[in-house]
Amino acid sequence: LLPAARAAAYGGMAAPGAAALVQYVVLRGDLARPPLSWPLGAVVAQGCHAARAAAHAYREHPDTGAYLEQGGAMRTVVLE
């Protein structure tokens, strides 16, 4: 999890005036192209596994906790 800026969770939202925490997930676009030609679902599934593993690995970090406490307000940006 990479914070856009440090912010405390506030009622499921970022604190007023604070930048939200954002999780960035980078997917390997080359996996979906020849010669590998992975199905899109497989590429996305690997990204989901990696994102979940990162959240678990850094679960004790204050930014990770604040991100997860946002619940439905969590922001994730997916890049190639």
pLDDT tens-digit readout, 7-42: 444 444 555 555 689 999 999 999 999 999 999 999
Instruction: Tell me the one-letter amino acid at 48.
Output: C
Tokens of 46: 């690997």
3-state secondary structure 44-74: HHHHHHHHHHHHHHCCCCHHHHHHHHCHHHC
pLDDT band with cut points at 50, 70 and 90 for residue 5:
very low
**Is 6 in a helix, a strand, or coil?**
coil
pLDDT tens-digit readout, 40-62: 999 999 999 999 999 999 999 99
pLDDT of residue 6: 44
pLDDT of residue 18: 58
Q: What is the pTM of this model?
A: 0.68
